[in-house]
Structure 1
């Protein structure tokens, strides 16, 4: 019998593809990737666990969405800009309504991860 946690099954057996989480996380940190709400999606994809939760450290999302100065210093994104980006990503259905700066949640019908590494989410109290 196949382990259900190692299968990726979308509604109706629709086609699916894979992506590199490292590359998604890198794209989230590049201002040329696009608007902040798209970069929020990439950050979630880069950090998601098997539950679809992308738990982040305090201030991590602000740093990812920030800009790099000419001297190489990272200027974190303002808190209100981070909040607006999360709100926009939610309104477009890119992330789930329970998402917040400390944990971005991907919708299960869009994103799944096949793995036995089912680490917890302390932000949403999941094991």
Structure 2
């Protein structure tokens, strides 16, 4: 399971009319949040072999519970795998990953939690 957190830019947050718009805008740029999400999805896809690289991602089904300060969203992404030894490349489009998030207003942070997955690879697989 991948997790990460980011500091909330209060000025950016206060400009958005709704939390859902803030979350969508957060991953619409090439900044830290987007890079961390891509890295987490790449790690989630390590079990398929090759070197995964997320090329495109978009968010859908964003929901937010104002009382609990938690929400969920689905990431739709396109990923490429490069198998270095054989110089083989493979692409998969329309892949999905479900994530949840929680606002920590006391510490001005936003916590993200990805899906549970089992990392089946080990260094022994390389030999």
By the TM > 0.5 criterion, same fold?
no
TM-score, normalisation: structure 1? 0.28
Structure with greater proportional strand content? 2
In our comparison, the structure showing a higher alpha carbon Rg is: 2
Structure with greater proportional helix content? 1
TM-score, normalisation: structure 2? 0.28
